[in-house]
Structure 1
Amino acid sequence: MPEFMDVHRGMVGITEEGLKEAHDADLAIQDDEAVVFKQAWADPTLGIVYCLSEAPSREAVQRIHARAGHPADEIHEVPLSV
């Protein structure tokens, strides 16, 4: 299944607790779109959150994020990794 890295902007000051809450909201409904959210990272100073997932499409990732209340600003397929 393809992997995707998505970017959320405008989250200045996000805390570890806030990141976990957002990630847990995605996990709670990810099965609805056959998405598997693997990891999330945040830079509270820049207000950027990154999420790595496996999904059938970038649209499936966006639908889950939107339903969870935090649509992604960018979603990039990651076709190569080492």
Structure 2
Amino acid sequence: MATFMDVHHGMDGITAEELEAAHQADLAIERSEGVTFKQAWADPASGTVWCLSEAPSADAVQRVHERAGHKPDEIHSVPLSV
């Protein structure tokens, strides 16, 4: 499995409850694409949300987010970590 960080823009003013609801929507369908979402972070002031996942491909991450109703603007492979 590869690790990915995806980024969503334009979520100005997102609340903790809205972030949790979006994350739960991903978790509800992630297995259908072989994705495991690990964590999500948000900056309400900038409207940016980041999601960390393990997945077979960036396309799998894209499909889960699209089906959950929040298409990412960017998906980055994270090949190294400590």
TM-score, length-scaled by structure 2: 1.00
Distance 1:77 1:56 in 2: 11
Counterparts of 1:1-82 in structure 2 under 5 Å? 1-82=1-82
Is there any run of 5+ residues in structure 1 with no aligned partner, and where?
none
Calculate percent identity across the aligned residue pairs: 70
Distance 1:64 1:2 in 2: 16
Deviation of 1:63 after TM superposition, in Å, equals: 0.1
Count of aligned positions: 82
The alignment yields a C-alpha RMSD, in angstroms, of 0.2
Runs of 4+ in 1 over 4 A off after TM superposition: none
Deviation of 1:10 after TM superposition, in Å, equals: 0.2
Q: Aligned partner of 1:20: which letter? A: E
TM-score, length-scaled by structure 1: 1.00
Q: Aligned partner of 2:71: which letter? A: P
Residues 24-81 of structure 1 deviation map (CA, whole Å, 9 limit, x = unaligned): 0000000000000000000000000000000000000000000000000000000000
Is there any run of 5+ residues in structure 2 with no aligned partner, and where?
none
